[in-house]
Amino acid sequence: MRKRYAESGRTDGIRHSLSTPGTIDSLKLPRRSKNVDNKEFFAEHVHRYIVYRDIESALQKYERRILNELRFRGLENDFFKDKTVIDIGTGFQALTVAKMGARQVYHLDQSAAQIAWMHAYCAESGISNVVSVECDITREIPIDAKADTVLVFGIWHHLENGNAFMRNLCPLLNEKEAQIWMRVYRSGSWSRWLVGHLRKLTGHLDPRTVRQTLEARFAGHGIGQWIGDLLDDFFAPVWKAFHPDQFAIEGVSRFVDYEGWDYNFNEKDENFRVDFHITPQNRADFENFVFPATGVDQYTLPVGQNEFPASEALKRFTRDFGNGSAYLLGERLITLYELVRAKPPFDPYTRKHAPAERCGTASKRLEGLTEILESFEKDA
């Protein structure tokens, strides 16, 4: 028996500029030294690297992702045809499912800049079945819809109050049948565990300073996804990791890739997928379920047989390895992040990346962490 965890569109080849007033490049955010709850954080610091630097490549990437999500679930490519869909995030998934034949797509985002960009893109591209709405989904969802499918990919772990979001979403679901698809950060995976520790230090840094360091260090390397992932992991105002069992609702939940481990530092996915299939027969169970507000604390997570090497490595894991310099601390955290997510090696002659080498065992990863931290001590 699973244990319950306590709470601890179209592409038409048009190149689109980001310099339009009200969109990404025109954002003027106040300078802050610590993580803040700012609705434009992802537009300003993350998505400018992951999606907005090359719109057509981003659209192709998101189409591949949606096709993969369909494949994981054993569904055909025409699954979205004639459906009403709600998508939360940048809107690139909304554009993809619109292209796949959805009747109506509601795109929700709290970023005014990203909503403005979507309005401009859809108007220029002649896309009429995507409606973009600026809102905080934990406060209200101001649309009149009866959705067949809701896409919540990469969202839950950044919500302060996910349960409030679900309460707002319930009235918008098709009464006959609806599905909610989620992809969530996986507690106990190597990357989430290490990021949980890195975030104890990143609060001492300004994301703009780290961005400047990254752009100077990797200028022309074409690794926007890696840079965006780093900024997300380091500075997202809300960052949580969950165990799949926290989302188990008998007769409602379906785990696309369920594994029950509490920690696993080997080659395991850093996310998990859970779907909710809601019908008249189980709707009350879904509506009465209290969704987890709190993830699993990676900083205190027991790691079994790896407890000793992990604790030995983490004895060296203090902000002192910045030697009082925010710049040096940022440099060293960037170096450590390559243990979270390998950066593909760059060949300056071919201007291409070789496949990233993967360090796939717990012992090798912990050895690598210890070696890097020891090198910081020697350089002190």
Residue 72's pLDDT is what? 95
Percent of the chain with pLDDT over 90: 66
Phi/psi at 337 (5° precision)? -65, -25
pLDDT tens-place string over residues 78-88: 999 999 999 99
Whether 373 has a pLDDT exceeding 60, the answer reads yes
Please tell me the pTM assigned to this model: 0.87
Neighbours of 308 (CB within 10 A): 10
Mean pLDDT (the chain) is: 86
Percent of the chain with pLDDT over 70: 85
Q: Is residue 12 in a domain?
A: no
The residue-averaged pLDDT of 72-96 equals 98
More reliable by pLDDT, 336 or 222 = 336
Residue 81 shares a structural domain with residue 210 = no
Residue 33's pLDDT is what? 38
Confidence of residue 2 (pLDDT cuts 50, 70, 90): very low
Give 84's strand partners.
104
Whether 9 has a pLDDT exceeding 70, the answer reads no
Residue 169's pLDDT is what? 98
Residue 317's pLDDT is what? 77
pLDDT tens-place string over residues 11-26: 333 233 333 333 334 3
Whether 28 has a pLDDT exceeding 70, the answer reads no
Residue 334 shares a structural domain with residue 256 = no
Longest Cα–Cα distance of the chain, Å, equals: 64
Q: Is residue 296 in a domain?
A: no
Residues present in the chain in total: 380
Domain of 123 in residue numbering reads as 24-190+239-288
pLDDT tens-place string over residues 321-367: 777 788 888 999 999 999 998 875 544 444 444 444 555 688 889 99
Least confident stretch, 13-17, 61-65, 290-294, 310-314: 13-17
Residue 326 shares a structural domain with residue 177 = no
Confidence of residue 263 (pLDDT cuts 50, 70, 90): very high
Neighbours of 5 (CB within 10 A): 19
Least confident stretch, 106-120, 156-170, 268-282, 313-327: 313-327
Residue 233 shares a structural domain with residue 358 = yes
Residue 312 shares a structural domain with residue 345 = yes
Residue 24's pLDDT is what? 39
Neighbours of 92 (CB within 10 A): 26
* Local structure of 136: helix, strand or coil: coil
Residue 268 shares a structural domain with residue 159 = yes
Residue 42 shares a structural domain with residue 81 = yes
pLDDT tens-place string over residues 167-210: 999 999 999 999 999 999 999 999 999 999 999 899 889 998 89
Residue 251 shares a structural domain with residue 284 = yes
